[in-house]
Structures are given as C-alpha cells and as structure tokens.
Amino acid sequence: MRIDTLLAAGLTRSFEFFPPKSDDEARVLDTTLADLVPLSPSFVSVTYRGGTESRQRTFDLVTRIQHDGAMTAMAHLICVGHTRAAMADVLARYAAAGVENVMALGGDVPDDGSNVSSDFAHAIDLVELAREVGDFAVGVAAHPLGHPRSANRTDDRRHLAEKLALADFAVTQFFFRADEWSRLVEELADLGVHKPVLPGIMPVTTLSSVKRMSLMGAAVPDELVDRLNAAHEAGGSTAVRAAGIEAATALSRELLTRGAPGLHFYTLNRSTATREIHRALFEV
C-alpha cells in the first residue's frame, strides 16, 4: 500500500527501525516486529546510514517485511556517498521487489570523513530521481526547530516547501512540544504547501538519553528534564521511564487533537515503550 494513499484514507500509525548489525540485534528486532504486528501499523520504515553493507541490510529488511505481508514497509535512502547511477539501481531493485514507499534524506556525513562524495547536492535531487525511476510514494524529513545545517528557520521552511512540492509527505525529527509541530505546519501553509506532516515521537525513558537526544538535534526541554529528575528522586529509573512515557503519550494525544495526520514512533528496535503509548492512545 502506498503511504500517500494511507494518509488520504485517515489517521496513520507507523514505527521506525534500523537494520541489525549482529545476530543478537537481529533476534531483538524479530521479537519487536512480532510484538508490533498485532497493532496493525499503517506502515513501518527502515533507516540506512550508507555504505554497501548498510544498504544491503536495509534492502534485506525492507523486502522481508514487505514480502511477509503483515506490514507495509518504507525504505530510507540517503544522498551522501552515492552516485546517481548507483541510487537509480537501488530504486529499481526496490520497485522490482514490490516496495512502493521510500524516504529521501540528505544523510549524515560519516564521523571519519570517509565516503562522503555524492552526485546529489540535496534531498530534493533524490526525490526527483525517485520520481524518474518508479511509481513511489516519497517522503522527506522535516525539522520542527529547523535543520541543523539551515542558516535560519525561514530558509529551512523554504527548502522544505520546495521538497514537499515534489514529495508526498514529510516525517519530522522527534520533538517535545506540540506547538513546534503546529508552527511548522502553519509556516508551510503560508508557503502554499499542505502535504501531510507526520510528527515523530521518541519517549525519553532514561536520564542518560537526555544528552544523546540533544546531540541528535532535538534538545529535551528544561521542564521535561525537571520532571524526569523529580521522578528519579522519587522512584529511581522505573519512575523516570514511567514519566517519560506519560510525557510522550500526552504529546501524542495533543498532536492528534491539533489535527496531526498520524504518529510516527522511533522505536530504537524495542517495542515495549511504543506499545504502552499505543495502548494508552488507541486501546482504551
């Protein structure tokens, strides 16, 4: 099923995974996938960081999910480290495997500086190629606070509007205040763009993850950090986890109230927190 068709039909619920790098990680992911199938997600997406090995792991996982038939899969694609010919081949392989949905991303430059050359200047170039190669539903990334490499929010919104003019939908980086999603959607509307923007949800379940999330581009707000610290003082790590899930559930509920077209959960290949939030929102 194409994701643009799913979005046109109503509210979507989706989950994101990364391809395993070891047998142990593969077993964990298999358990997670089995746990989430009963939730009947609209679709699931699989990330990809680049390099031949990672590209094949993503391809194998996406096509396996798609062929199993229980869930619709979306494959991530990145600009960094790819020639146009190589990416056209990847897209053709996905089309031949029956995969109808792709996510066009700029991609992160490797920490060691290797493998950074690319025939693509920006993600919009990858969107254009996907349109040429196959009949895909194409998603792009959105950053409620602005892309880290954008000079300012005005430029960020202009570039995002240009991408969305060609793409079918956007999925946001995780964030923690509903106003940030609402402002993003309103600013896109001011630019004449009304494509669906799916909010990305990632619960903060440990104090140690606060710093990591900031490094990933979305700082945890002070009020949530204070809430997590208070929970830790009152009940330790178990209470922190509960407070983080409660906050993510409240954010998700508020986003739905504001008209979000769906919710996209970053699972980190674990199902428990996602299932708890899903149960609170949709199963009570």
Q: Domains in the chain, please, with CATH?
A: 3-205+260-282 (3.20.20.220)
pLDDT of the chain along its 284 residues, tens only?
999 999 999 999 999 999 988 889 999 999 999 999 999 999 999 998 666 777 888 999 999 999 999 999 999 999 888 889 999 999 999 999 999 999 999 876 654 455 567 889 889 999 999 999 999 999 999 999 988 888 899 999 999 999 999 999 999 999 999 999 999 999 999 999 999 999 999 999 999 999 888 888 788 999 999 999 999 999 999 999 999 999 999 999 999 999 999 999 999 999 999 999 999 999 86
Query: Who contacts 52 (Cβ-Cβ below 8 Å, separation ≥6)?
Result: none
Pairing of strands 137-142, 101-105: parallel
Tokens of 216: 């990933």
Give the active site residues. Answer: 16
Residues comprising the chain, all counted: 284
C-alpha span between 112 and 110 (Å, rounded): 5
What are the b/e assignments for 1-19, b being 16+ CB within 10 Å? ebbbebbeeeebbbbbbbb
Distance of CA 185 to the CA centre of its chain: 17
Of 47, 32, 120, the closest CA to residue 77 belongs to 47
C-alpha span between 237 and 72 (Å, rounded): 35
Tokens of 234: 């009152």
Whole-model pTM above 0.85?
yes
Residue pair 261/7 in contact by the 8 Å Cβ criterion: yes
3-state secondary structure of 241: helix
Residue pair 275/265 in contact by the 8 Å Cβ criterion: no
What are the b/e assignments for 47-77, b being 16+ CB within 10 Å? bbbbeeebbebbbebbbebbeeeebbbbbbb
Continuous segment of H or E residues that includes residue 201: strand 197-201
